Amino acid sequence: MSRTTRRTAFAATAVALALTAAACSSSGDGGSSDPSASSSGSGSSAFQPQHKGGTLRLVAKSAAGTFDPQVNYTLQYWQLYQSMYDGLLAFKKVGGQASFTVVPDLAEAMPKVSNGGKTYTFTLRKGIKFSDGKALTSDDVVASFQRIFKVSSPTAGTFYNGIVGADACIKKPAGCILDKGVVGDASAGTVTINLTAPDPEFAYKLAVPHASIVPKDSPEKDAGTKPLPTTGPYMAASYDPNRQLKLVRNPHFKEWSRDGQPQGYPDVIEYSFGQTVESEVTAVQNGEADWMYDPPPSDRLNEIGTKYASQAHVNPLTAFWYLTLNVNMAPFDNKLARQAINWAVDRDAVVRLYGGKNLASPACTVLPPGFPGHVDSCAYTKGGGKTWSAPDLAKARELVKQSGTAGQSVGIVVSDDEVNKSIGQYLQSLLNEIGYKATLKPLSGNIQFTYIQNTKNKVQLALTSWYQDYPAASDFLNVLLSCASFHPGSDSSINISGFCDEGIDARMQDALKTGQTDQKKADQEWAAIDQDIMTESPVVPLINPKIVDFTSKRVGNYQFSKQFYMLVGQLWVK
């Protein structure tokens, strides 16, 4: 699961590609010390009709592509889908830590799991209608699961490949039936899903938008700019990716579960595209817009943090920015050379380039603080310690010398927006300092991510980031650093370092298995794996970023879900 939210800076290009979910969990992380005004309401407070109504105006530099919930894989729209589309299950739609909890949504209750964890049985709620007025039945559910494969959903082969019959559907999407995998019983109102093997993360996978239930007569291809009917409180009235997306109330929506799908407050949500980030800030300041999607440009942060502090909400994300070191190419096929980089990088400098210590914290492990499996530990900090304190340049130089790689040339590939490019320039300067000849290649944000994955492009060092899809350690370690994620010659090879260690791979499989029965023990295993990977040093964790939501003065009831970020439908404009 993954995602990179590439939020962009003015003039610098780059569109936010990515996605997902958020945040950091749990106690003890930077969240609590955060000065932010973010109020995460807890629990499901009752609907307050006096705040109902009005038009919420959102702005973003650009649209996020197709509006099909089973295809779109961007944070920008996943955030909106929360108050539009529903799956059988959902992440609880509240602020705070509780947003990592999975609750029943279109299903009446959590599924009955049988057959050793391989069979899930759901009973559908009665009386739910799509926004086109048709009733939702088990046929729609079956068709929606088929549709995941028919539209080649990005996660078809990674999230839903465990459903019985999925292999055939991935290979031949057109005739996908899943007749043994997803079985509906219209008269009983039940749906049964059979897996080929138990999957402790399956409930999470059913709660993300790709598993949304859409009408059975939806087109069997990406719906693109023609939004599909919804089940939630809002439906799309129009969508033009160059201008505006307009959401209005779904006339057939009746609140069935405040946790799963609460009633929304604004009557209309207008999402405009195409302004520069600078003017987005100005628009929110002047009350011409209520919220901006893009991160504010660096020269406006100070102003937002002081003059508009009451309108800014800062929340830590369960994500990390990191460097990938290509372990199959000189000089980073040498472990000492890789470790040298981990010793050398001044995380404080990177934090500064990102916007200061209230916007990011130094990272030393793959798993972000507050994430399942995270344990404070830092193998590469001057003077030792559990968290990062300072770089050790002398040690780095020494290791470079020992490795015999001094004087070699290193190409750094970054995307060309302001923040990434400035971190790239710092790295270039740093690598030259410790004995390499570094060149910097800033690429358009849109191609950098696929470019660095393909081994044919011979990328030695790249700057990238990973944002969680759902709260499970495997979402970082297994996805980013397992042998199965390394596909030489392909543009989709998320193990960018090309790191493949059979011993560690086997332990990750074990930890996954342990997770089926004992999540706590599994998380301890993941923590050990994280530390052992850091010893091998295929990646250099840099920072764990935070997000700033900047809202207009009139907006109330700001709530931050760690899973899907700000709850758009819950904002008050009255």
Partner 1 sequence: MLYFAVRRLVSALLVMFAISVLVFLIFFATPGVDPAARIAGRNADQVTLAQVRHSFGLDRPLPVRYLLMMRHLLVDRDLESFVNRGSRVIPQIVQAVPVTLSLVVGAAVLWMAVGILMGTAAAALRGTAADPVIMLVGVIGVSLPAYWLGEVVNLITQKQLHDTVFSWVPPPGYVGLGRDPAQWALHMLFPWLTLSLLYAGIYARLLRGEVVTAMNEDYVRTARAKGLSERRILIRHALRCSLIPIVSLFGLDFGALVGGAALLTEVVFGLPGVGKLTYDALQNLDLPVIMGTVLYAAFFVVLANALVDVLYARLDPRARHA
Partner 2 sequence: MTAPVTSRARRSPGPWRTAAADLLRNRSAVAAAAVLLVVVALSLCAPLYADHIAHTDPFQSHVSGTTVVDGRTVPVLTPSTTGLGLGVTPIGPTWDTGHYFLGADNQGRDVMARLLYGGRTSLLIGFSAALLTCALGTFVGVVAGYLGGAVDAVVSRVLDVIWAFPVYLLAICLSVVLLTNGLRLGPVTVEAGSLWLPVVIIAAIYVPYVARPLRGQVLVLRNKEFIQAAVGSGAPTSRILRREVLPNVLPTAIVFVPLMTALAMLTESALSFLSVGVQPPDASWGTIVQDGLGLLYTRPAVTIAPGLLIALTTAALNVLGDGVRDALDPSARLRGGV
Residues forming the site for partner 1 (CB under 8 A): 1-4, 11, 13-15, 17-19, 62-63, 65-67, 71, 73, 152-158, 161, 170-171, 173, 221-226, 240-243, 274-276, 278-279, 282-283, 286, 288, 443-451, 453-454, 456-457, 479, 485, 487, 490-492, 494
Binding site for partner 2 (CB under 8 A): 9-13, 35-37, 278, 297-307, 309, 312, 314, 346, 348-349, 352-353, 355-359, 416, 418, 421-422, 424-426, 428-430, 432-433, 439-444, 451, 548
Cα–Cα distances (Å) from 312 to 322, 434, 552, in that order, read 26, 40, 9
314 binds, among partner 1, partner 2, none (CB under 5 to 8 A by kind): partner 2
The distance of closest approach from Cβ of residue 147 to partner 1 in the complex, given in angstroms and rounded to an integer, is 14
CB atoms closer than 10 angstroms to residue 470: 21
Where would I find the H helices in 172-276? Answer: 202-206
Q: Which is nearer to partner 2, 247 or 281 (CB)?
A: 281
CB atoms closer than 10 angstroms to residue 458: 10
The distance of closest approach from Cβ of residue 362 to partner 1 in the complex, given in angstroms and rounded to an integer, is 25
Instruction: List strand residue ranges (DSSP E) for 252-336, in order.
Output: 268-273, 291-292, 312-316, 319-325
424 binds, among partner 1, partner 2, none (CB under 5 to 8 A by kind): partner 2
The Cα–Cα gap between 249 and 40 comes to: 25
The Cα–Cα gap between 157 and 32 comes to: 37
The distance of closest approach from Cβ of residue 418 to partner 1 in the complex, given in angstroms and rounded to an integer, is 14
Q: Which is nearer to partner 1, 15 or 340 (CB)?
A: 15
Q: Which is nearer to partner 2, 3 or 421 (CB)?
A: 421
Place of tokens 């955030």: 79
Return the structure tokens found at 199. 């999957």
Q: Which is nearer to partner 2, 179 or 299 (CB)?
A: 299
Instruction: List strand residue ranges (DSSP E) for 426-483, in order.
Output: 437-443, 461-467
The Cα–Cα gap between 82 and 313 comes to: 20
The Cα–Cα gap between 214 and 54 comes to: 28
132 binds, among partner 1, partner 2, none (CB under 5 to 8 A by kind): none
Q: Which is nearer to partner 1, 256 or 476 (CB)?
A: 476
The distance of closest approach from Cβ of residue 344 to partner 1 in the complex, given in angstroms and rounded to an integer, is 28
101 binds, among partner 2, partner 1, none (CB under 5 to 8 A by kind): none
The distance of closest approach from Cβ of residue 251 to partner 1 in the complex, given in angstroms and rounded to an integer, is 25
65 binds, among partner 2, partner 1, none (CB under 5 to 8 A by kind): partner 1
Alpha-carbon dihedral 354, 357, 359, 363, rounded to 10 degrees: 80
Phi-psi region of 256 (alpha: psi -120 to 50; beta: other; left: phi over 0): alpha
234 binds, among partner 2, partner 1, none (CB under 5 to 8 A by kind): none
